[in-house]
Amino acid sequence: MSEVVMPRLSDTMEEGELATWLKNEGDTIAKGDILAEIETDKATMDLEAFESGVLEKHLVDAGSVVPIGTPVAIIGDGSGTADAPKKKDPPKAQETPQAEEPSKAEEAPQVEEPPKAASRNQASGKLRMSPVARKIARDHGIDPATITGSGPQGRVVRADVEAAISQQAASPTAPVSPSATAARPAGAMIPGSDEEMPVNRIRKVAAKRLTESQAVPHFFLTSVVDVEKLLAFRSDVNESLEAQGIRVSVNDLFVRAAAVTLRHHAEANSSWGDDSVIRRARVNIGIAVATDAGLLVPVVHDADTKGLGAVAQETVALAEKARDGKLSPDEMSGGTFSISNLGMFGIDQFTAVINPPEAAILAVGAASPVPVVRDGVLVEVPKLKITLTVDHRVMDGAVAATFLRDLVAVLEHPLRMLL
């Protein structure tokens, strides 16, 4: 008999929500089977069985949020020896064994007063909702707190959201009160109520890490890059890779150029270790990806050893997994340097926030034509601005400036990134 515990599925994970049980009590389990889906601070991941046997007991219900290391199930030989751990099944009951019955008796009449959705929130202290239901609600502008869940422990599932969408479509828009219209001056704004949006774990963790980042003493360096040769190089590369169905983006070129440059600048490929500077042996580039749930930074590992085609394929796959919430722990861990590109949104220049414990992050802006005199003739040359945010504890200004200068040289002479 062995306990299945809530695993640590990311470097920032402190707790996880057991979203859905995929195996029932009494099911025969083979090593490697997926027991449940776990919603972490970054994505929805699979809980895998590490040994074969019989799933004798669920120790937590679907929708429960538990700390890492907490037992969630028991796998045995089917003899029913899991009865002993059953005593510690509901931890809340152990915390208040004497007060539980009186409190229920006192609160019972009060639970009926609010609507079911509010009652559920008050009882659990947390809105329980499956990831797919949350996405559908968000896409249709439905406030999850207004939906009554039909799943375990009042969990809101897909069917509940779809019913709410149908009800919303069938309900006519509430008319504006004539008296209110008459009393309102022409051109005045229609008063409304503030909307409090629930924050998912991804955004909570991001907020925590960004707050930590602000405590880092940092500075910024900006350079202008002539990308005329870079864009022509990209066009040639894509033409040569067209038969393989591979298309290299401008961001892929920055990933590869940064990786090649970091290979010769160990100071920039480092992190702060309290009382020491840690030089990273591998060059792993994090790429900032915006998702509906929040900002994620999947990692291209060993980017300095991969060709442009391999980098392009990997970045596409990682971005797709990030948006679908399917990134694995390894795909989100181990970054040594990050790149954030907002050029596709028309942003000329910005500063990015360091992703601890990395020592630097590169912000890439949009390319735009700049007038330049060449051989006495005024021509337009595409240029863009890049800004390096640096942890001053790891790098001094001159060291960071040297790295940025060499990175610009690789970008302006793109054949160097093939070396």
Between residues 212 and 74, which one has the greater pLDDT? 74
Between residues 44 and 8, which one has the greater pLDDT? 8
pLDDT tens per residue, range 273-304 = 878 899 999 999 999 998 877 788 999 999 99
The 10 Å CB-count burial string (b at 16+, else e) for 246-279 is bebbbbbbbbbbbbbbbeebebbbbbbeeeeeee
Give residue 361's pLDDT: 96
The band of 171, judged by pLDDT with boundaries at 50, 70 and 90, is low
Q: Mean pLDDT, to the nearest integer, of 6-33?
A: 85
The band of 44, judged by pLDDT with boundaries at 50, 70 and 90, is confident
For the cut 50, the answer to whether the pLDDT of residue 261 exceeds it is yes
Q: Mean pLDDT, to the nearest integer, of 379-401?
A: 96
For the cut 90, the answer to whether the pLDDT of residue 414 exceeds it is yes
Dihedral (Cα; 309, 314, 317, 323), 10-degree rounding: -130
| Mean pLDDT rounded to a whole number for the chain | 81
The band of 177, judged by pLDDT with boundaries at 50, 70 and 90, is very low
Give residue 152's pLDDT: 61
In 3D space, the residue among 201, 84, 41 whose CA is nearest the CA of residue 71 turns out to be 84
Range with the poorest average pLDDT among 133-142, 267-276, 301-310: 133-142
Range with the poorest average pLDDT among 115-124, 184-193, 313-322: 115-124
Q: Mean pLDDT, to the nearest integer, of 30-42?
A: 83
Q: Mean pLDDT, to the nearest integer, of 127-142?
A: 72
Q: Which two tokens stand for residue 112?
A: 């009926």
Give residue 194's pLDDT: 79
pLDDT tens per residue, range 303-328 = 999 999 999 999 999 999 988 888 88
For the cut 90, the answer to whether the pLDDT of residue 263 exceeds it is yes
The band of 355, judged by pLDDT with boundaries at 50, 70 and 90, is confident
- Domains of the chain (ranges; CATH) run 2-95 (2.40.50.100), 115-170 (4.10.320.10), 217-418 (3.30.559.10)
In the block, which residue shows the tokens 């890059």? 225
392 is catalytic: yes
pLDDT tens per residue, range 360-372 = 999 999 999 999 9
For the cut 50, the answer to whether the pLDDT of residue 198 exceeds it is yes
The band of 107, judged by pLDDT with boundaries at 50, 70 and 90, is very low
Give residue 178's pLDDT: 45
CA 350: distance to chain centroid? 21
Give residue 110's pLDDT: 44
* Predicted TM-score (pTM) of this structure: 0.62
- Percent of the chain whose pLDDT exceeds 90: 47
Beta bridge partners of 278: 271
For the chain, the straight-line distance linking the first and the last C-alpha, in angstroms and rounded, comes to: 55
For the cut 90, the answer to whether the pLDDT of residue 100 exceeds it is no
Angle, CA 321 vertex, CA 354 and CA 31 arms, to 5°: 115
In the block, which residue shows the tokens 């021509």? 379
SS (H, E, C) the chain: CEEEECCCCCCCCCEEEEEEECCCCCCEECCCCEEEEEECCCCEEEEECCCCEEEEEECCCCCCEEECCCEEEEEECCCCHHHCHHHHCCHHHHHCCCCHHHHHHHHHHHHCCCCHHHHHHHHHCCCCECHHHHHHHHHCCCCHHHCCCCCHHHCECHHHHHHHHHHHHHCCCCCCCHHHHHHCCCCCCCCCCCCCCCCCHHHHHHHHHHHHHHCCCEEEEEEEEECHHHHHHHHHHHHHHHHHCCCCCHHHHHHHHHHHHHCCCCCCCEEECCCCEEECCCCCEEECEEECCEEECCEECCHHHCCHHHHHHHHHHHHHHHHHCCCCCHHHCCCCEEEEECHHHCCCCCCCCCCCCECEEEEECCCEEEEEEECCEEEEEEEEEEEEEEECCCCCHHHHHHHHHHHHHHHHCHHHHHC
Catalytic residue of the set 218, 264, 265, 392: 392
For the cut 90, the answer to whether the pLDDT of residue 162 exceeds it is no
